Amino acid sequence: MNFLREELRPMLRLAGPIVLAELGWMGMPIVDTMMVGRLPYSADAIGAVSLGSILFYAIGIFGTGLMLGLDTLVSHAFGAGDVADCHHSLINSIYLSIVATPLLMGLVWWFSVYLHRFGVAPDVLQYAVPYLLALNWSMFPLFLYFALRRYLQGMNRVAPVMFALISANVVNLIGNWALIYGHLGFRAMGPVGSGWATCVSRIYMSAVLLISIYFYERRYRTGLHAVELRPDFARVWRLVKLGVPAAAQMTVEVGVFAVATSLIGRLGAVPLAGHQIALNTVSITYMVPLGISSAAAVRVGQALGRRDPAGARHAGWTGVVLGASFMGCMAVVFWTVPRFIARIFTPDLGIIATASSLLFIAAFFQLFDGIQSTITGALRGTGDTRTPFLCHLVAYWAVGLPLGYHLCFAVGWGAAGLWIGLSVALIMIGIALLFFWRRKVQSFSSMFA
């Protein structure tokens, strides 16, 4: 543990603002859930927001995942002192976003047309489809935001990212208040108003980062203003090669929860609302190791860029210790006060009972979720995005989801059965990635021999 003394401070300096940004990211769906949860038809409204948002993320997350290749390219270039190469990667990531946007928007639209075939309750479906279509217009701003964010993080400039997300929550809150209930001259739109508020907040986030980059370049003249604007297809291909496995891993992870949400939707509005509350809560805790994961990717990548294998090893293990420690504490919270957490979202006793039982189950995978998240980031810093993808694919889709489906419908355990299956998968992923990270660390010295 001696490495913690030298690595802990720089890791926390980078991770702190990123964690706050990730929490700000999760703050928007939390606010959405709370705001629609106060409507007279709260169970249907919460269920619609749950279903619409998870389906959007299951598709949109692939495009945002493509930007994760910037973690490797920008951090390696910055560690080697080649800032011009960082700029080059950013420009070509924007071209990649432009290509990906219409393809993924079309896929979201297709799902909205055929969503009724999944057996979702009609009362939920009538709000979920327009909410999903409203979110769909935020696709390109979301991709642009992620490209700009990964570029900034890779060069240790995280304050604008933190400000953009925290302030975007204010924009989203005001938008929800105005559009859901009909204030500031707008008509009351119900759950779909929440979707439009989220769309506006994403446009705002990307605009904040663009303005920040513009004024930084105007002051320091780092060369971004003179970068070649023609597409570099070789660089785009490198981004694709790095980003596709990372995007696929995120899609696999979000997709399995999207399928679980659709399956729970067959059980009715109350189980679906309880599932959404539990899912929002575990997503909040997950944002902390996810932020540490991003910092670990940058720290590992920068160390390898300056040919420092010991520094890369120390950065990775520091991220794992921090992520596991935090999530271990969250497991204790979920075991002890699940009903208190559920009451924050809704006064409905039926929803509270369902959500609290799911949070108790979630406590069992918190530690392993912290481990797998931070190791995924550390491996991404080395350029390995395939190993996490394969681990998530096998554990979630070959083990966790089939087991959860059996426990939910065949055994009759309902939503709890699905959560138990997914918990087993997360425990498997955490253990497997710990093994692969140890092997990766052992190969560092030979990389620069």
Q: 309 pLDDT exceeds 80?
A: yes
Q: Comparing 404 with 190, which gets the higher pLDDT? A: 404
Closest CA to 30 of 314, 310, 281: 281
- What does the alpha-carbon distance between residue 441 and residue 333 come to, in Å, rounded to a whole number? 33
Closest CA to 176 of 277, 54, 281, 28: 28
224-276 confidence digits (pLDDT tens): 988 888 999 999 999 999 999 988 888 888 888 888 988 988 888 889 889 98
pLDDT, position 447: 65
pLDDT category at 23 given cuts 50, 70, 90 is: confident
Element (H, E) at 147: helix 139-154
Residue 158's contacts (CB-CB under 8 Å, 6 or more residues apart) are 14, 17, 18, 21, 152
Closest CA to 359 of 417, 419, 309: 419
96-134 confidence digits (pLDDT tens): 999 999 999 999 999 888 777 767 777 778 888 899 999
Number of Cα atoms under 13 Å in the Cβ half of residue 364: 15
pLDDT category at 301 given cuts 50, 70, 90 is: very high
pLDDT, position 64: 87
Q: Which of 18-27, 387-396, 420-429 has the lowest mean pLDDT?
A: 18-27
Whole-model pTM? Answer: 0.83
Mean pLDDT of the chain: 90
pLDDT category at 327 given cuts 50, 70, 90 is: very high
CB 357 within 8 A of CB 338: yes
pLDDT, position 1: 62
Q: 215 pLDDT exceeds 90?
A: yes
pLDDT, position 79: 92
Q: Say whether 383 sits in a helix, a strand or coil.
A: coil
Q: 449 pLDDT exceeds 60?
A: no
Which residue in the block uniquely carries the two structure tokens 């559920």?
A: 342
Burial group, residue 64, by CB count within 10 angstroms (0-12, 13-18, 19+): buried
pLDDT, position 276: 83
Q: Comparing 333 with 38, which gets the higher pLDDT? A: 333
